[in-house]
Structure 1
Amino acid sequence: MPWNPCYYPCKARACGSGFARCRIGHRRSGKGQPITEPNKGGLLVITRPFPHFYRTVFGDPERQAKDWNAVPGVYLTGDVALRDADGYYMVVGRADDVLNVAGHRIGSAEVESALVSNSAVAEAAVIGKPDELRGEIIKAFVTLRMGQVPSEEMEAALKLHVRGELGPIAVPAELEFMPTLPKTRSGKICAAF
């Protein structure tokens, strides 16, 4: 993500914002439509290449064409991100972290993004839990913001929020509140529970 403190001041959790020569789009998974409202998760795309953009991938020359042609006119980064009201981007995770719930492919980052877009949630991690009937079910681990209290009502409200954002198939079957989420050395949430 292009970012230079000379152009934009620092902002916690943000990886930056687009600048003059680069336009960075933010699109909903699979639909290819720009997301204009703030704090909505979607695929992070680049709508115009950087001057130093790669021309090929060593050992996989077709990959560059595939990444550019999946949605016409944009480059798919493979990241799921959201943009706040000030135009800063926060990368939530990878789009290829996909769960198979009853034959439906659901990105764990999309569910995490939907949970984090609720004002009561500070952090979220989602995993697939094996299930005999559905293949996998969605299990979410959530850390609430200061002043928010874990409860059955909060769990129901978060599930309803995800249903409104992504639809009924993406609602976590299990939701567990945690004081903190485990992190890697680099500070990323480690979803290997």
Structure 2
Amino acid sequence: MELPTCAAFLAIVLGLALFLSTFLLHSHHRRLRAYNLPPGPKPWPVIGNIDLMGELPHHSIHELSKRYGPLMQLRFGSLPVVITASAEMAKHILKTNDAAFSDRPRFAVGKYTAYDCRDILWSSYGSYLRQARRICTSELFSAKRLESFKHIRDEEVRVVLRDLRRASGCVVRLRDHLQMLTLA
């Protein structure tokens, strides 16, 4: 008497699981079709399409564009990325759909380190960002302000040149010196 009850219960559970997985899978595909996404390779569950990127990503993207066309979608981790592989397609997207692509994704780092994404680096596109850019252009990066810091830039270049002169005759990683120069 026990065996038929367990078998019936198992059949009901498996049937319910099959029904729910089919229903959820179709609703997921319906949502994807509603966006009319461009073609692209099938992503892996966690890493997406990062495995397709070689040491030279621009060569990898070129090879993918031969297969999927000038407009394709890749996933880097869980982030979907639309890639244009031709200048004409990029010009079309940036001219006709510039407002749709001008916004930035909201990451947790911007929320917790930048006053809930309210600084110029993390803020969303809109009137606040335009005003912040205008202030930075007129106050921080104006010709008068940049000229006032000219003596500091000259001193930093002299320090780098002095350090390179001291290291003459030795192997020098120029990258380290240039990084220090750009940080100053």
- TM bucket (normalised to shorter chain) is under 0.3
Task: Return the structure number with greater relative CO, CA threshold 8 A, min gap 6.
Answer: 1
Which is helix-richer, 1 or 2?
Answer: 2
TM-score, normalising length: structure 2: 0.23
Structure with max Cα Rg: 2
TM-score, normalising length: structure 1: 0.22
